[in-house]
Amino acid sequence: MNPLANRRFLKMNGLGNEITVLDLRGTRIVVGADEAAAIARDPRSHFDQLMVLHDARSPRSDAFMNIYNTDGSEAGACGNGTRCVAWAMGEDREMGRAGAGRLVLETKAGLLPTLRREDGRYTVDMGAPRLRWDEIPLRDPFHDTTGIELQIGPIDDPILHTPSAVSMGNPHAIFWVDDVEAYQLDKIGPLLENHPIFPERANISLAHVASRDHIILKVWERGAGLTRACGSAACAAVVAGARKDLTDRKAIVTLPGGDLEIEWRESDGHVLMTGPVELEWEGTLAPSLFAGAA
Please count the CA atoms within 13 angstroms of the CA of 3 that sit on its side-chain side.
9
Return the axis-axis angle of helices 231-243 and 79-91, rounded to nearest 10°: 130
pLDDT in tens, 72-83: 999 888 999 999
The number of residues in the chain equals 294
Could you tell me the sign of the dihedral formed by the alpha carbons of 181, 187, 188, 193, in that order? Answer: positive
- Tell me, what's the pLDDT at 96? 67
Residue 93: its pLDDT value, please? 73
Distances (CA, A) of 92 to 75, 119, 203: 24, 18, 31
Which regions in the chain score pLDDT beneath 70? 96-100, 292-294
pLDDT value, residue 291: 83
Domains, the chain, in order of start with CATH, read 8-127+277-290 (3.10.310.10), 151-269 (3.10.310.10)
Residue 186's H or E segment, with its range, is helix 185-193
What residues contact 278, with CB distance under 8 A and at least 6 apart? 12, 13
Q: Are 171 and 165 in contact (CB under 8 A)?
A: yes
Handedness of CA 150, 152, 155, 157 (dihedral sign): negative
Q: Which amino acid is at 58?
A: S
CB 99 within 8 A of CB 293: no
Q: How high is the pLDDT of residue 265?
A: 98
Q: Please identify every residue annotated as catalytic.
A: 78, 230
Asked if residues 73 and 31 have their Cβ atoms less than 8 Å apart, the reply is no
Strands 8-13 and 122-125: unpaired
| Burial of 183 (C-beta count, 10 Å sphere; 0-12/13-18/19+) | middle
